[in-house]
Amino acid sequence: MLVVFRILLNIIKIMSRNKNTTLHKKMFEKCYKKVLPKTWKGVKMQSKLFKSKMVLFGDTIISLARMLKIHRLTLTEKINGKSEFKQSEIGFLIDHWDLTASEVVQIFFNEDN
């Protein structure tokens, strides 16, 4: 699990440095879709940190749900850990909130709530 974590962290670092990241996004998707569901099962996100980013950037549940093109109740379930964010949704939030690699890991892949 630590190896997968390090791979994802490196891919996110590369993506954040380079704007032309089609190859890296494909690598991230492949790793996320095939490996993470098996290794990160049950890991909940940091909902308080997520909500603080929402406030910092002036987002509301409704506005963020519209940007992610999902229902507001679906977003609420994801924030509360009842369902998981898709890779495309995490990717959007990385760009929208200009998240660093460590922030992505802290928010989405941290067990401590």
> Is pLDDT larger for residue 50 or for residue 111?
50
The token duo for 76 is 């609420």
pTM for the full model? 0.63
| Res 16 pLDDT > 50 | yes
Give how far the C-alpha of residue 99 lies from the chain's centroid of Cα atoms, to the nearest Å.
9
Ordered by start, the domain boundaries in the chain are: 2-108
What is the CA angle 25-9-55, rounded to 5?
Answer: 85
Name the most confidently modeled range: 21-30, 33-42, 104-113: 104-113
- 3 state SS for 32-79: HHHCHHHHCCCCCCCHHHHHHHHHHCCCCHHHHHHHHCCCHHHHHHHH
More confident residue, 18 or 69: 69
